[in-house]
Amino acid sequence: MAQQLADCGPIAMSPFTRLATVELQLVMHFCDQSTLIALARCSRTAFAAAKQPFAWRCLSPLSLSCSSPLELSARMADSLLRHAQLSVEWTIPAPAAGSAAAQANADAKKADAAATAAEIAALVSLPRLRHLSVRYHRQSPDSHLTHLVTALREHIEHGGALVRFTLQLQEFRESRISESVFVSLGALLERSRTLAALKVFYNKMDAAMVRALAAGLQKNESLATLNLSRCSLGDDGAIARRRTGAQPHSDRAAAGTLLDR
């Protein structure tokens, strides 16, 4: 057997060793995630080529649902998938159940805020985060949502290229998040140069919230779709929407957006 392998010579060698690294990476551009990983495991040469971001640049975002961005970030750091673009779905943890006195405890609130802040920091630090869908509970503090949107804005300012962002109530019923969250969303729109789609589902909006979004839209040139499905505007919100010139089911030439209610 040994003599037979020796006689094979170059034929026994992996064909990938005959390709330049960039040529092998161009082949990888035509693979999906599972095929690319399988290819990377074929040989040391293929694995070395797959360890570079260029090999992953043509892949569509990898869809992941996580319960802990901290855990996800740690696992991605040692994986070939760290080079893949990501589409992440995360649910902000509901406040811990307990007595009213326990929930009102200042130390408990600080611990909850610190834990959520750490998760948010890990989430926005994912280097190739492209699509983000966040679900929240009716009891979720507005401070968590504001912190999340502010962190995304800062991430964008430091080179992040978020393309889609969805904010949705977990229980699929209308809620009421504060104006500060929409002010942060407006600031996110104002600063983003890559965000193409923003979706906010199941929320009650008033005139101030509509104006906050409109202020960001006026300075945004990247957004293609603004979806406010299942959002109740109310009389004041509807009036504010018309004053901003945002009509449902119609294109806005100025901002290049579609408002779909």
Quick: pLDDT tens for 153-175.
Answer: 998 888 888 999 998 876 656 66
Q: Tokens 């779909």 belong to which residue?
A: 260
Q: What does each C-alpha distance from 54 to 32, 42, 51, 200 come to in angstroms?
A: 14, 19, 9, 34
Element at 199 (helix H, strand E): strand 197-201
Strand-pairing partners, residue 134, are 90, 167
Q: What is the pLDDT along the chain (261 residues), one digit of tens a residue?
A: 434 434 444 444 456 667 788 988 998 999 988 899 898 888 888 899 998 989 988 888 989 999 999 999 999 888 888 889 999 999 988 766 554 545 567 777 788 888 999 999 999 999 889 999 998 887 777 888 899 999 999 988 888 889 999 988 766 566 677 888 899 999 999 999 999 999 988 788 888 888 898 899 989 999 999 888 777 765 444 433 444 444 433 333 333 333 432
What is the rounded CA–CA span in Å between residue 229 and residue 63? 23
Residue type, 3: Q
Nearest to 185 by CA among 241, 131, 223: 223
Is 227 in a helix, a strand, or coil? strand
Determine if the pTM surpasses 0.85. Answer: no
Judge contact between 151 and 180, C-beta under 8 A. Answer: no
Domains annotated on the chain, with CATH: 1-58 (no CATH), 60-260 (3.80.10.10)
